[in-house]
Amino acid sequence: MGINRKIKVLILVAVIVGAMELATMPSTLASDHDTFTLSVKGYYIGLTVDRDSWNVNHGVQVEVPSTYYTNSESNIFTANTTIISVNVDVKLQITTDGATWHAATSGNGPGPNTYKLSESINQWTSKVQIVTAPATIIKSNMAPGTQTFDLRMDTPTSSTTGSEQTITLTVSVIAH
């Protein structure tokens, strides 16, 4: 069962339970029945991202220290929220760090065995650092549509590993 279907089912169950609770409440009028109107407006949210991976430096070993890598213009990510019925905040969060390398804390640069991941929605006119917690809002109050974003990874200043490092970046939306 898809997430959108689960949300719709949960909303329907909540409406039914709420209506049943209202129906069993004692009447406050002198007659033996009450009349009331129950109005419910549901919404749905959904998100797709056009690519599910970024092979930094196209799979070629990256240089350490002090080198950064960004997506090429043709490889930017697109978050698609055209399937929603409300405005949303689009968020990014590192949910799994590399086995040896770890994300820098917000506002800090890379360090030994520590990389820095940044994001931009405006071709690097401004950027936001992405960390493990909390999730970082990259677009606030976004109406249904699409939002492109680019990533930049700054490599550690030094490394004690020669093995491949992989992180997981999670994109999410929260109804506004």
User: pLDDT tens digits, residue range 25-51?
Assistant: 665 555 576 778 877 777 777 888 888
Does residue 5 sit in the same domain as residue 59? no
**Could you read off the pLDDT of 53-104 as tens digits, one per residue?**
888 877 777 777 767 888 766 678 899 988 888 899 999 999 999 888 899 9
**Could you read off the pLDDT of 12-29 as tens digits, one per residue?**
555 565 555 655 666 555
Does residue 140 sit in the same domain as residue 159? yes
Q: CA–CA separation, 26 vs 56, rounded Å?
A: 65
Provide the CATH number for the domain around residue 85: 2.60.120
**Residue 30, pLDDT score:** 53
Does residue 27 sit in the same domain as residue 88? no
Does residue 21 sit in the same domain as residue 83? no
Q: CA–CA separation, 91 vs 89, rounded Å?
A: 6
**Residue 75, pLDDT score:** 73
Does residue 5 sit in the same domain as residue 87? no
Mean pLDDT of the chain: 81
Residue in 137, 120, 146, 43 with CA at minimum distance from that of residue 86:
43
Does residue 88 sit in the same domain as residue 166? yes
Do the beta carbons of residue 153 and residue 64 sit within 8 Å?
no
Residue in 87, 77, 86, 90 with CA at minimum distance from that of residue 49:
77
Does residue 57 sit in the same domain as residue 118? yes
Does residue 20 sit in the same domain as residue 61? no
Range of the domain at 24: 1-42
Does residue 30 sit in the same domain as residue 78? no
Q: How many domains does the chain have?
A: 2
This prediction's pTM: 0.71
